[in-house]
Amino acid sequence: MTCTGYCRDCFTGTLHGDAVLTGHVERIHGLPTYVAEPEVGARPKALIVIIPDGFGWELQNTRALADSYARRGEFLVYLPDFMDGAAPPQSLLAEIDGIMGPSPDWYTTLVMKPYWAMKTVATMVPFLFWTRRSVAKPRIVKFFQDLRASSPPFQTPNLKVGVAGFCWGGYYTIFLAQDNPETRAASPGSVEGVPLIDCGFTGHPSSVSVPSDILAVRLPLSIANGPDDVLMGRDNMVQLTKILEANEDAAHEVVVYEGARHGFANRGDPNDPKQAEIGLRAEDQAVKWFSRNLC
Question: Is 186 a member of any domain?
Answer: yes
User: Mean pLDDT lowest for which of 72-76, 167-171, 271-275, 287-291?
Assistant: 271-275
pLDDT grade for 125, boundaries at 50, 70 and 90: confident
Mean of the pLDDT values across residues 153-170?
82
Question: Is 1 a member of any domain?
Answer: no
Question: Is 112 a member of any domain?
Answer: no
Is residue 187 pLDDT above 80, yes or no?
Answer: no
pLDDT grade for 191, boundaries at 50, 70 and 90: low
Question: Is 104 a member of any domain?
Answer: no
Is residue 5 pLDDT above 70, yes or no?
Answer: no
Question: Is 135 a member of any domain?
Answer: yes
Q: What tens digit of pLDDT does each residue of 259-295 get? A: 888 878 886 666 677 878 888 899 999 999 999 999 8
Identity at 9, one-letter amino acid code? D
Query: Within 13 A of 125's CA, how many CA atoms are on the CB side?
Result: 5
Residues 6+ apart with CB under 8 A from 225: 203, 204, 205, 232, 237, 254, 255, 256, 257, 260
pLDDT grade for 164, boundaries at 50, 70 and 90: very high
Residue 253 contacts residue 223 (beta carbons within 8 Å): yes
For the range 266-274, what are the long-range contacts, defined as Cβ-Cβ under 8 Å and sequence gap of 24 or more?
A: 266/52, 266/53, 266/59, 266/61, 266/62, 266/65, 266/166, 266/203, 267/12, 267/13, 267/14, 267/15, 267/53, 267/61, 268/13, 268/14, 269/13, 269/14, 270/14, 270/16, 271/14
Looking up residue 147, the CATH number of its domain turns out to be: 3.40.50.1820
Question: Is 256 a member of any domain?
Answer: yes
**Higher pLDDT, residue 236 or 42:** 236
Query: Which residue range(s) make up the domain with 231?
Result: 8-87+131-294
pLDDT grade for 14, boundaries at 50, 70 and 90: low
Question: Is 55 a member of any domain?
Answer: yes
**Higher pLDDT, residue 191 or 167:** 167
pLDDT for position 214: 95
Mean of the pLDDT values across residues 128-152?
88
- Where does residue 114 rank: exposed (0-12), middle (13-18), buried (19+ CB within 10 A)? exposed
Distances (CA, A) of 73 to 66, 147, 264: 11, 20, 21
Stated pTM of the model: 0.86
DSSP 8-class letter at 111: I
Give me the number of domains the chain comprises: 1
Question: Is 116 a member of any domain?
Answer: no
